[in-house]
Amino acid sequence: FTVNAMAVGLAGPHAGHLIDPHGGSLDLETRTLRTLRPGSFTEDPSRLVRAARNLARLHLHMDDGTDREARAAAPALDLGSARVADEMGRLLGEACAGRALEVLAGVGVPWVADGAQDRVAAVDRARATGGAPDLPRWALRAGAALEPAAVAASAFPGWARAIASDVDAGRGLVASLAAAA
């Protein structure tokens, strides 16, 4: 992304000067996320997850070309890819995870559950109560906000898939108990 393709010279003639060959500083001013070249999401699908994380964290919006490419790439985003799963774990660990998941859902990633932002918030409220188990937040959020089949087929570590599965099973149990009451 252009906003990641900037540097400050440390020595020589560029020492102390911003090196910005792709206009990232202007994109930051306009709160725009733009890929460096067409095909970026096809070349590395994990970039789509990073895009959502950056959009949510930095309160950016995608330029039209980046948005079109994200929408084209989203249906094929594979949580079974180690790179995608690694980026998704990072996203799920962020304070802005709910917003980032809504970005992914908005561009058409099929395995983000409806209402992902509310589901992340519910997990966070539950974790804040006394006696809640000390389990990794990202794995709990995965179980609440991602479709179970995608999590089961994901490249997440086995322990994280198990935690996520337990969260999903817990939601079903709550619904059954509420119906029985």
Q: What is the pLDDT of residues 150-179, one digit of tens each?
A: 999 999 999 999 999 999 888 777 777 778
Q: pLDDT-based confidence at 103, cuts 50/70/90?
A: very high
* CA torsion angle 109 115 121 127 (round to 10): -80
Question: pTM to 2 decimals?
Answer: 0.88
> Which pLDDT belongs to residue 121?
95
Look over the chain and give the mean of its residue pLDDT values, rounded to a whole number.
Answer: 93
CA-wise closest residue to 70 among 97, 50, 39, 48: 48
Contact 70, 107 (CB under 8 A): yes
Distance between CA atoms of 120 and 99, rounded to whole angstroms? Answer: 9
Q: Token pair for residue 14?
A: 């560029």
Q: Token pair for residue 128?
A: 């804040």
The residues facing 15 across adjacent strands are 9
Distance between CA atoms of 40 and 55, rounded to whole angstroms? Answer: 16
Q: Is 6 helix (H, G, I), strand (E, B) or coil?
A: coil
Determine the average pLDDT of the residues in 120-148. 92
> Which pLDDT belongs to residue 108?
98
> Which pLDDT belongs to residue 27?
94
> Which pLDDT belongs to residue 143?
95
pLDDT digits (tens, 9 = 90+) for 30-88: 999 999 999 999 999 999 999 999 999 999 999 999 999 999 999 999 999 999 999 99
Q: pLDDT-based confidence at 105, cuts 50/70/90?
A: very high
